[in-house]
A and B are shown apart, each in its own frame.
Chain A
Amino acid sequence: MSAFWFRRLWQTVLTLLTMLTLMFFMFRMLPGDPMATVISPALYPKAQETLRIQFGLDKPLWEQYFVYLKNLAVFDFGLSFHTGRPVADEISGRLLNTILLVFPSMIAAYGLGALVGAIVGWRRGSKIETVLVFLSTSLQSAPVFWLSMLAILFFSIRLDLFPIGHIVSPGMFPEENWRMYFSADFLHHLALPFMVNTLYQFCFPFLLMRSSILATVGEDYIELAKMKGLTDRRVLYHHAMRNSLLPLATTLPMTLGWAVAGSVVIETVFSWPGLGLLMVEAVGRSDYPVVQAAFLLIAVLTVAGTLIADLLYTLLDPRIVNE
């Protein structure tokens, strides 16, 4: 058991390390020259040389790589090209914003998907089933940025129910601090992206739960529960649903990680100051230290999701570790 966990953890570390390395060399080997934004080719060669030494770029690549790793180990991501402030400061609040946007809506989507999927799967062949399958698939097929724009068009502009974007009203919290997250204003801003993302993500858990319930319908323990004279509802909620939740529980962390990666788009539409928006903006400004750090954090969340998914799986279904 512990050997399995150890191996899995080691693989995760290896994955992250490879990704780090890939990133490092991608930024330095690909044709676009990121340093051109700080060391202007228009400068005197002498000045260029001085700057290069200052940034440590005169050293061989492998030496730069080790310095980079050493700095990362103490969460030093360097300075932003754009603001000149430490990247770690720029990025710390953004991570929380992304998590607050993505996690609640994913959990809501899974809760809703599990419930509706179970009911629909239990009474298979209904009209509602066909309609729901079609609707959820179409929602998932639409680009999420477009759905968001339609939602803004209808709910914010036509009905004036929600603000158009941002995390709080401008000027409400001049100094961004924790108090911001406990304000009604914050929840008001979160409401629309939350709803859009919940509906968008609903399809996967819904279909998964539906087929998972379908698979349990013929099982012996369900027949037994029915024979005991339990009500239909009790059989569904206490017997069938519990066992069918397994695939949902184990995929949740992984899809959470993917949703974080995909949140780039939704954050852009809603001007939500999360990691994804920061990354897109930083790419636009050629602020490469910020791009690198934001990408790494998103990657860490994705990889952590896969790891937790695996561990959950072994906890909930110990049968699979015996390989």
Chain B
Amino acid sequence: MNTLMTFLRITWKSTSGRISLSIFGACLVLAVIGPWIAPYSPSDRLYDDAGKLLRLSPPTWDNLLGTTVLGRDVFSQMLWGARTAMLVGLLTALGTVVIGLNFGLIAGYFGGRIDAILMRITDILLGLPFLPFIIVLLSLTDRNIWTIILAMTFVMWRSTARIVRAEVMSLRQRQFVASARTTGASDVDILYREIAPNVMPLAVTSITFALAWAIITEASIGFLGFGDPNVFSWGSIIYDAYASQMMYRAPWWVVPPGVAIMVLVTSVYFMGRAYEEVINPRLQERM
């Protein structure tokens, strides 16, 4: 919680940080209230006054972003998709950082055999082709959103663990660790009370990367047709448009979800950078 407040305060200092935080915040709000303010149910087939199915209707006041080939409201689907993107992104980022942080802390602090084993595991995961692995996994299990989140988390903590470990290895030589030890602090105390707060900035930066990656990957999975069939996501909207072969006739169907992903992920990247510039004085000096 404290880390979150610090993150917000630091990021808010720069213009790009303020803009990206606002965009991200807006998306978050939409993700929470979206399904309530959506004018239609995303899977409802809409008919016009004459009782004809509204197939591929261009944007109108009733359907802000037009309709799909099945007469569904694109705008409502987009709002539901925002919830999916945020849910997948935030949960995956959280899982990634919790696992990565702990593995990194333990490997870096204890070193020796524990370090060797943990680092071999990350080596193997680093060699794992990310998207193909998730596709294979999804093809063998249930295609639902929780499997997608778990599969992504399972692979993505590898880089966080590496970054944190390297930092911990240099931190554990420092004076404050030695002085904590002389006061009789246990390993756990030193690790989580003395060292962990110092690697938090790194963890926060890796959260933003994980968030960005998770959102894009979830969209890719949806586009390849391996998404959760019961959930509307921006990737699956694009997949539906692509699969119907109507996308070239209905730009209102295929452009908005792509733009949404692009805007959201860009804001995440800039948020991370705005934070890093303040945290890392070396970067700041160069700017």
What's the dominant secondary structure at chain A's contact region? Answer: helix
Q: Check B223–A14 contact: CB distance below 8 A.
A: no
With A141-B212, A261-B132 in contact, do A15 and B124 touch (Cβ < 8 Å)? yes
**Chain B residues with CB below 8 A from A283, complex form:** 135-136, 139, 226
- Residue B262 CB within 8 A of the other chain: yes
Which of the segments A26-34, A55-63, A104-112, A220-228 contacts the partner chain?
A26-34
Q: Is B262's CB under 8 angstroms from A142's CB?
A: yes
Contact for B266 among A124, A141, A144, A153, CB less than 8 A: A141
Determine whether A258 belongs to the interface, using a CB cutoff of 8 Å to chain B.
yes
At the interface, yes or no: A97 with Cβ under 8 Å from chain B? no
Please provide the chain B residues from 72 to 130 with a CB less than 8 Å away from any CB of chain A in the complex.
120, 123-124, 126-130
A12–chain B nearest beta-carbon distance, Å: 8
Q: CB of A243 within 8 A of chain B?
A: no
Please determine whether A291 and B136 come into contact, CB atoms closer than 8 angstroms: yes
Residue of A nearest to B216 (CB): A143
Is the CB of A103 closer than 8 A to any CB of chain B? Answer: no
Contact with B along A114-157 (1 / 0, CB 8 A): 00000000001000000000100110111111110110110001
- Tell me, in angstroms, the Cα distance from A68 to B139 when the chains sit together: 21
Tell me whether B224 is interfacial, beta carbon within 8 Å: yes
Q: Which of B127, B136, B140 contacts A302 (CB under 8 A)?
A: B127
Point out the residues of chain B lying under 8 angstroms from A137, CB to CB: 266, 269-270
B61 within 8 A of A: no
* Binding-face segment, A81-89, A168-176, A262-270: A262-270
CB atoms of A142 and B124 under 8 A apart: no
Contact residues, A9-34 vs B (CB, 8 A): 11-12, 14-16, 18-19, 23, 26-27, 30-32, 34
Majority secondary structure, B binding face: helix
Asked if B265 is an interface residue, CB under 8 A from chain A, the answer is: yes
- Asked if B146 CB lies within 8 Å of chain A CBs, one says no
* Closest chain B residue, CB of each to CB of A284: B225
Contacting pair A299 B129 (CB below 8 A): yes
A122 shortest CB reach to chain B, Å? 12
**Contact across chains for A260 and B129 when beta carbons are under 8 A apart:** yes
Interface residue tally of chain B, by bracket?
35 or more
Cα separation A268 to B222 with both chains bound (whole Å):
13
B219 beta carbon closer than 8 Å to chain A: yes
Alpha-carbon distance between A173 and B38 when the two chains are bound, in angstroms: 51
Is B220's CB within 8 Å of the partner chain A?
yes
B247/A149 in contact, CB under 8 A: yes
- Say yes or no: A26 contacts B137, CB within 8 Å: yes
Query: Whose C-beta in chain B lies nearest to the C-beta of A16?
Result: B127
Cα distance, A97 to B242, chains bound together (Å): 23
Task: Tell whether A298 is near chain B: CB-to-CB under 8 Å.
Answer: yes
Alpha-carbon distance A142/B254, docked complex (angstroms): 13
From the candidates A143, A214, A217, name the one contacting B261 in the complex (CB within 8 A): A143
Supposing A141-B266, A142-B258 touch, asked if A15 and B129 sit within 8 A by C-beta, the answer is: no
Q: Is the CB of B132 within 8 A of A276?
A: yes
Q: Give B236-287 interface residues, CB cut-off 8 Å to A.
A: 238, 242, 247-248, 251, 254-255, 257-258, 261-266, 268-270, 283, 286-287
A295 and B216 alpha carbons, distance in the complex (Å): 21
Query: Is the CB of B141 closer than 8 A to any CB of chain A?
Result: yes
The residue in chain A whose Cβ has the minimal distance to the Cβ of B242 is A149
Q: Tell yes or no: B190 within 8 A of A by CB.
A: no
Q: Taking the complex as formed, is A196 at the interface, i.e. its CB lies under 8 A from any CB of chain B? A: no
Q: Are B124 and A19 in contact (CB-based, < 8 A)?
A: yes
A125, chain B: closest CB distance, angstroms: 8
| Interface status of B133 (Cβ within 8 A of chain A) | yes
Contact flags B7-40 to A (C-beta < 8 A → 1, else 0): 0000000000000000000000000000000000
Shortest CB–CB separation between residue B208 and chain A, in angstroms? 12
Q: Indicate if the CB atoms of B286 and A214 lie closer than 8 Å.
A: yes
Instruction: Give CA–CA (A34, B141) in the complex, Å.
Output: 11
Do residues B131 and A138 form an inter-chain contact, with CB atoms below 8 A?
A: no
- Say if the beta carbon of A215 comes within 8 Å of chain B: yes
Residue contacts A-B, CB under 8 angstroms, 9 given:
A19-B124, A34-B140, A124-B286, A134-B266, A142-B261, A261-B131, A291-B136, A295-B129, A295-B136
Nearest first, the 9 closest Cβ-Cβ pairs linking A and B are A261-B129, A141-B265, A146-B258, A303-B127, A30-B140, A142-B262, A141-B266, A214-B286, A32-B140
- 15 more contacts with CB within 8 A, not counting A141-B262, A268-B224, are A11-B123, A15-B123, A27-B140, A138-B262, A141-B216, A141-B261, A141-B265, A143-B235, A145-B220, A152-B248, A217-B286, A262-B130, A265-B220, A295-B129, A302-B128
